[in-house]
Amino acid sequence: MVPVKQPDQIRLAILGCSPGNGHPYSWSAIFNGYDRDLMTAECPYPGIPAYLNQEPSATLTIPGARVTHICCTGAGDFSAEHVARCAHIPHVVEKPTDVIGHVDAVIIATDIGGDHVERARPFVEAGLPVFVDKPLADNLPDLQTFHNWVEAGHAIMSSSCMRYAREFLPYRQSTQTLGALRFVSITTAKRWETYGIHALEGIYPIVGPGFETVRNTGTPERNIVHLTHRDRIDIVAVATADLYGAFGCLQLGGTTGHAEAAFGDTLHAFKAQLAAFIDFLRTGERPFPFAETVELIKLVIAGKLSRDEGGREVRLSELTLT
């Protein structure tokens, strides 16, 4: 990828909204700052001002990038105009494509993987870099499309903020004190199709590539997913609809030790995730290989396929891209 042409001030568009997803508020504030009184009083997701208000305004934002345009098409429960007032966004547009020619990159802030190809298509075709909220896709044909675009040289990035969880950093750096990992577990709330990627990407930088099988013996509301890894690691990822009190609980068991960690610093994870995208725009160098995203999305797809087929073990090798 060729770095963007405006390194001093990268202009971003925040696009889309989906039910229960407040990223347009929080992500825009991480770039632009925000109206503290308005956000606190009126943001429909009270957790967002709760963590934003804990950070001094002088250190909140990512320098050298700003959200200049917003369009909130989709089935969300807020308006683009309201986000713009809360997060100092100067331009609200009627259609997502209205931002083409006015921004350097776009952020698709929706978490419905099956919508993302069509949301991204006009911007990929226009040559704009795109960040796509997790999960990138939730089916193999759409993953194939994104893979083809990246292979053709388009700048597309997607990740869960859990990849950047501060609490998991020591184990991303090394698990040597634990010996050889043999068991890993992690939890998330909500649906496997939208939030399973949080659990998976939280542990992926720790165990690395090499997943082999996926078996989901749960239900749409209670996903219990057993994954196996070529390094003889058994992994259990749980996605239970109302498990909000235990989101991001990580357990690691090795041949000589064990460890536990719990995710808590949402702002740090979001900021690090978005900063990684800005670094990608500036340097043209990916923060991690796109092949990791491909493997992660295959795990999401395999978990749904297994559940829908009565808990059948799905080998990742079944999900092939051309």
pLDDT tens, residue by residue, 9-60: 999 999 999 999 999 999 999 999 999 999 999 999 999 999 999 999 999 9
Same domain, 195 and 311: yes
Q: Confirm whether 128 is domain-assigned.
A: yes
Residue 231's domain is classified under what CATH number? Answer: 3.30.360.10
Same domain, 282 and 188: no
Please state, as a whole number, how many other Cβ atoms lie within 10 Å of the Cβ of residue 166.
15
Whole-angstrom distance, CA of residue 39 vs CA of residue 24: 12
Same domain, 142 and 49: yes
pLDDT tens, residue by residue, 63-86: 999 999 999 998 778 999 999 999
Mean pLDDT of 224-244: 98
Mean pLDDT of 131-147: 98
Q: Confirm whether 2 is domain-assigned.
A: no
Q: Confirm whether 129 is domain-assigned.
A: yes
Same domain, 215 and 84: no
Q: Confirm whether 3 is domain-assigned.
A: no
- How high is the pLDDT of residue 261? 98
pLDDT reading at 138 higher than 70 = yes
Same domain, 44 and 89: yes
Amino acid letter, 113 = G
Cβ density class 275-313: b for 16+ within 10 Å, e for less: bbbbebbeeeebbeebebbbbbbbbbbbbbbbbeeeeee
Q: Confirm whether 143 is domain-assigned.
A: yes
Q: Confirm whether 293 is domain-assigned.
A: no
Domain count, the chain: 2
Same domain, 306 and 233: yes
The first and second tokens of residue 206, run together, are: 């720790």
Residue 80's domain is classified under what CATH number? Answer: 3.40.50.720
Whole-angstrom distance, CA of residue 206 vs CA of residue 168: 8
Q: Confirm whether 174 is domain-assigned.
A: yes
Same domain, 126 and 14: yes
Residue-range definition of the domain harbouring residue 141: 10-160+268-287
Cβ density class 97-106: b for 16+ within 10 Å, e for less: eebbeebbbb
pLDDT band, very low/low/confident/very high, at 6 (cuts 50, 70, 90): low
Same domain, 204 and 247: yes
The first and second tokens of residue 131, run together, are: 């960040």
pLDDT reading at 120 higher than 90 = yes
Q: Confirm whether 214 is domain-assigned.
A: yes
Same domain, 155 and 190: no
Same domain, 58 and 92: yes
Same domain, 155 and 241: no
pLDDT tens, residue by residue, 245-301: 999 999 999 999 999 999 999 999 999 999 999 999 999 999 999 999 999 999 999
The first and second tokens of residue 245, run together, are: 């009190």
Phi and psi for 238 in degrees, rounded to 5?
-115, 130
**Spatial contact of 185 and 158, defined as CB atoms under 8 Å apart:** no
The first and second tokens of residue 139, run together, are: 């089916």
The first and second tokens of residue 310, run together, are: 């009565």
pLDDT band, very low/low/confident/very high, at 2 (cuts 50, 70, 90): low
Same domain, 86 and 224: no
Whole-angstrom distance, CA of residue 207 vs CA of residue 220: 26
Whole-angstrom distance, CA of residue 156 vs CA of residue 286: 10
Give the 3-state secondary structure of residue 257: coil
pLDDT tens, residue by residue, 169-205: 999 999 999 999 999 999 999 999 999 999 999 999 9
% the chain with pLDDT above 70: 98
% the chain with pLDDT above 90: 95
